[in-house]
Amino acid sequence: MEGVEAEIVIVGAGIAGLTTSLGLHRLGIRSLVLESSESLRVTGFAIATWTNAWRALDEIGIGDSLRQQHHQLYGIVAASTISGLPTSEISFTTKASRGHHEVRCVRRKVLLEALQKELPSGTIRFSSKVVSIQEEESGGCFKLVHLANGSVVKAKVLIGCDGVNSVVSKWLGFKKPTFVGRSAIRGFADFKGSHGFEPKFLQFAGKGVRSGFIPSNEDTVFWFFTFTPSTKGLEASHAIFCLYANKKKKKLDKEVEENPAKMKEFVLSNLGKVPDQVKAAVEITELDNIACSPLCFRRPWELFWGNTSKGNVCVAGDALHPMTPDIGQGGCAALEDSVVLARCLAEALKEKPSGGTEEGDGKEEYKRIERGLKLFARERKWRGFVLISAAYMVGSVQQSSGVVVNFLRDKVLATFLAGMLLKMADFDCGKLSIS
């Protein structure tokens, strides 16, 4: 790839990267997606796709194909880990601002493959890890994207969709996401037949832990278990889950992080009072389908202080607004970003130059691109701020181990917290088409 030049370079072939590329393709604009891994990254197993996500998926033209492979959910039931009793139940069949709410649990692999299938051949280049970004020495408008294999890609527009450890967001000046003090174990259970779960999102909270179980289709169930990595309140035999810390960072003990069997044992020992059907979902989960990761977020005010875009460079998805998974909006927000970004960038690129001709060295086009990316940044900063803040607040309340907060959560706030999920999902990112 030595000397490759591309109009639009997208770093990362995750949800945000592929959706942005497809959105641009729908508007007649080619892009090049650089992915560090050798194939599509399908870690994470599944994502909850809420009403706002389906609006975005319909705009890029793959909503109907995904609906055929994933069951619709009709409500959320919250229960206490301590008593096992339900604390609230909310229906998803209520009206949204446009139509009705729609919630499904979509397998990440299926989503990424659906996006890839719609892209022109050669759009994604695997084994292309970005290590640094440089301005053209000649003062030109291109960004020089240096890859680990020594090659360089010249980009007229550079979009970072490279996740929480984004190279592009670092170049823009963003700090590394902050560890929130909680971690999540995720799994995907294949029942090899009907699992018997109702089409509802089951959620349990109490004793400082929180778990959820979401049927994806007739034989698979996605589950998660979030906890504070501390022995306090947990079985002493699970002390290996403690965090060790230094002045710069905290991370999970690698021995456990890389041992799915210990993860499964830990989850089963701390689920609390849940139905046997729920325990079975964890018990039958194959070890290859279990993963653990620390939860991180970007402090919401950084979206206003930092540079979401700078010149012809911007970020989207987790590279822009990493958030905790407590309201299930990380992947959904990435889909929103992609539609808005594709629209703003296409409008900038297709805008007629002032005076009918291009200013020398493409400077007029550069200015239009800069305006387009700034428009994207303005549209998404407040939305990112709200989602990050709401997720952090909901997670803090739901996962508290305090007696008073537990009482308020189960007796007073349960319905409010569940309703927060629908409120955050009732958002329309707009049309993909441009005038």
Q: Is the pLDDT assigned to residue 234 strictly greater than 70?
A: no
187: its two tokens: 């799994």
187 touches 268 (CB < 8 A): no
What is the chain's length?
435
Question: Buried b / exposed e across 375-394, counting CB within 10 Å, b at 16+?
Answer: bbbebbbebbbbbbebbbeb
Q: What percent of the chain has pLDDT over 70?
A: 84
Side-chain-side CA neighbours of 220 within 13 Å: the count stands at 17
- Least Cα distance to 383 among 289, 308, 314, 291 occurs for 308
Amino acid at 358: E
204 touches 211 (CB < 8 A): yes
Span 154-173, pLDDT tens digits: 999 999 999 999 999 999 99
Structural domains of the chain, with CATH:
4-49+109-177+298-425 (3.50.50.60)
Full-model pTM: 0.89
pLDDT of residue 413: 57
Q: Is the pLDDT assigned to residue 243 strictly greater than 80?
A: no
432: its two tokens: 């993909």
pLDDT of residue 340: 98
Q: Is the pLDDT assigned to residue 401 strictly greater than 90?
A: no
Q: What percent of the chain has pLDDT over 90?
A: 67
* CA separation for the pair 212, 205 (Å, rounded): 9
366: its two tokens: 């550069």
Helix 51-60 / helix 15-26 crossing angle, nearest 10 deg:
40
pLDDT of residue 414: 60
Across residues 261-282, what is the average pLDDT?
94
Span 7-33, pLDDT tens digits: 999 999 999 999 999 999 999 999 999
Q: Which residues contact 357 (CB under 8 A, 6 or more apart)?
A: none
Across residues 337-359, what is the average pLDDT?
82
Tell me the average pLDDT of the chain: 87
* CA separation for the pair 203, 87 (Å, rounded): 10
236: its two tokens: 């002493």
Q: In 58-172, which ranges are E strands? A: 72-73, 75-80, 86-91, 103-107, 124-125, 130-135, 143-147, 152-160
Span 302-318, pLDDT tens digits: 998 989 999 999 999 99
Q: Is the pLDDT assigned to residue 295 strictly greater than 70?
A: yes
pLDDT of residue 237: 32
**Minimum mean pLDDT range among 29-43, 155-169, 417-431:** 417-431
Across residues 381-408, what is the average pLDDT?
77
Span 199-226, pLDDT tens digits: 999 999 888 888 999 999 999 999 999 9
Span 50-99, pLDDT tens digits: 999 999 999 999 999 999 999 999 999 989 888 888 888 889 988 888 88
Span 111-146, pLDDT tens digits: 999 999 999 999 999 999 999 999 987 767 899 999
* CA separation for the pair 133, 131 (Å, rounded): 7
* CA separation for the pair 330, 186 (Å, rounded): 15
Q: Is the pLDDT assigned to residue 185 strictly greater than 50?
A: yes
